[in-house]
Amino acid sequence: MNPPLRIEAAGDSHVGRQREHNEDSFAVDLDLGLFVVADGIGGAAGGEIASRMAVDIVQSCCKDGEGEITQPTGYDELAAPLEFRLVSSIWRANEQIFEVGQRDPRFYGMGTTFAGVYADATSACIAHVGDSRVYRYRQHRLERLTEDHSLWNEHLRSGEELPDDVDPLLARNVVTRALGMGKTVDVATRIERPEAGDLLLICSDGLSGPVPEPEIIEVLAQGDDLAATARSLVDRANLHGGPDNVTCVLVRWNAAG
């Protein structure tokens, strides 16, 4: 039998060097084993509200387990409890963000990306919508565990070329899925079995965009203190011009004791 693992985590966020408002939100909840990053869309007011709603609603639903949510057609009824609770909470957040946007003209069109990990000592459910990412750092290697829901990536996966009138840089930044875009949302999930020493990085595109992966590896390799490492990652993004809000959450599994 494998020895039990202990989870530690930390996060940090910064407005960046070219934005006036921070539309990112995040949560580090060790009691729940819930770790989330959300990147708001729709302008300062709408984006901030949507990302904060997503984090708060998911955290509340995972904590309380309250209420029933209509299960979309085709969802796997045999999903693990961690996965079903996390996805159900994301659906609830999507519904409420969409309703606010439809009801209040000031927030029409607001939305948010979502990347989250719901974990215990033996497993981790990863769920994401949009282009916020989850990486795993294991034995000095960095592996991306999510695929961006972006215009660029959708064309890449389908094998189709972008239309001539579409700027490739713009296509990378246009998300094709986000919470609040519609009444329902397709949530991508996967289950991982953590090993001692595994480190998950959850981040907004304010980090993954300007900071190359070799630099991310360099920072992760040097940091035992997760809070300091999270700050260092944010600093790297700002050294690269800080073009966007930047947020990261780090989650590590250690051998107990």
When pLDDT is cut at 50, 70 and 90, the band that residue 71 belongs to is: low
pLDDT tens string 5-60: 999 999 999 999 999 999 999 999 999 999 999 999 987 679 999 999 999 999 99
pLDDT tens string 151-189: 756 655 555 655 555 445 554 567 899 999 999 999 999
For 161-175, b/e burial (b = at least 16 CB within 10 A) is: eeeeeeeeeebbeeb
pLDDT at 256: 79
Dihedrals phi, psi of 118, to nearest 5 degrees: -115, 115
Strands 114-119 and 141-144: unpaired
The number of distinct structural domains making up the chain is 1
Which DSSP letter does residue 241 get? T
pLDDT at 167: 47
pLDDT at 121: 79
Q: Which domain holds residue 169?
A: 5-255
pLDDT at 152: 55
Q: CATH no. for residue 186? A: 3.60.40.10
Contacts of residue 97, defined as CB under 8 A and 6 or more positions apart, other chains included, come to 50, 53, 54, 110, 111, 112, 179, 180
Q: Are 10 and 250 in contact (CB under 8 A)?
A: yes
